[in-house]
Amino acid sequence: MLPPAGTEHRAQQMTLLSGMIHDRWTNAEFGHWLAELVEGPLAADPDGDMGANLRRLKREYDKKVKLPKSLVEELAQTAVFAQQAWVEARRQSNFNHFRPWLGKMLALKRQEAESLGYAACPYDALLDRYEPDARTADVAAVLAGLRQQLVPLVQAIRQGGRQPDVSILHRSFPPDVQQAFGRMAAARIGFDFDRGRLDVTAHPFCTGLGPSDCRITTRYDEHFFNEAFFGILHEAGHGIYEQGLLPEQYGLPLGEAVSLGIHESQSRLWENFVGRSLAFWQFFYPDAQRRFGALADVPLGQFHFAVNDVRPSLIRTEADEATYNLHILVRFELEQALLNDELSLDDLPGAWNAKYEEYLGITPPDAAQGVLQDIHWSAGLIGYFPTYALGNLNAAQLFRQADAELGGLDRHFAQGDFQPLRQWLGEKIHRQGQRYSAAELIRRVTGQPLSHAPLVDHLRRKFGPLYYE
């Protein structure tokens, strides 16, 4: 919403605030207190409440003191100008308008990586911001295994000879009815509207403003059912996580999400593993048919097939459950190449298009639908993209474990009972906060390290009967 002429003043504001926050975090007396406490009896149990809080705070302090205040301020300032340049570049579909700012942001992120230090490659330092303790090589290995299985699976789906009638999703769905139905479904799966809100915005998001103030948003298209409904489920999944964090730990590591990959696992789990399951719609579909006259003549099986449509697409945010991770792989690989100076900015648009052709079999017709479609790089969020794929992988592994421990989740879903899954996630994930790293949390909950196998197995079992078996 920022007017173009307001960019310079906003950049000054963000620069000032970023510097002030950095000063508070890196205060020498605060560092002295932490150093003393982590060696004392309060931290004797590193996984206990006090020990975990102190350990994670000390970790964050040690990272922030490595960053020069001038770099923190310049990153904040550049992000404001770069995002405004990206908006205009995308509107014009003109990569060259954004190129200088992307170049400056990359140079600053390289400085950030060098200041922080890293285990094996600069990307490690940036990935750690969103997935603490993760290593690029480990993420690359699990995503490579996923890619090897996913590309032929998508090809099998597309060559299977069956296609859903997606026109039924583009009939008339009045926004006010969509809002009421979506709100009801969000409440049913566990989003607490006494501690949260659902509103309309240009781009869906979830934000936690306090332990009892969680806001989720969506957007409505009268002629497309999926956008608002599954957007609501997705953001409600994020919101249920936020509402499940321990309120008495608010502001401390145990009252915060462990990583973006775990946070994304909660939204993808409720959106796809629950919300696009046949059992879910066995419960909700009769109500949907009563509310939406457009669905009155559509059998349940036909509707379920339509909301699980799989087809390669150009835009990441509109991608289906099966092809979505291929969009992430493109960005993950290009980010590393850019950061390592293995790919020039002049060659970036062509490299983007080549990877889309290789992984999805389609080529963007212009920059707006290609290299300029995401805001992340303009905001300096390099290392962020793989968390989306990690979210899907985490969701699959957690869902499989919950299904085994709870004796079959479909039985509960078909009866409209989502409480067992919500309680299981609350105990295993939400109330743990940052007690463990994401990798350790997954290992403790499922008994196995993160793997691509549960997600591939889920996709095969779901889409095989629909498309090619």
Known catalytic residues are: 235
CA distance 277 to 412: 12
Q: Where are the beta strands (DSSP E) in 133-277?
A: 196-200, 206-210, 213-218
Residues 66 and 117: beta-carbon distance below 8 Å: yes
CA distance 422 to 167: 33
Residues 385 and 335: beta-carbon distance below 8 Å: yes
- What distance, in Å, lies between the first and last C-alpha atoms of the chain? 49
Tokens standing for 51? 């020990």
The pairing of beta strand 213-218 with beta strand 206-210: antiparallel
**Side by side, which strands form the sheet with 206-210?**
196-200, 213-218, 206-210
Residues paired with residue 214 on neighbouring β-strands, in sequence order:
196, 208
For residue 121, give the DSSP letter. S
CB atoms within 10 A of CB 308: 19
Residues 197 and 215: beta-carbon distance below 8 Å: yes
Residues 121 and 112: beta-carbon distance below 8 Å: no
Residue 191: φ, ψ to 5°: -75, 125
Place of tokens 């957690």: 398
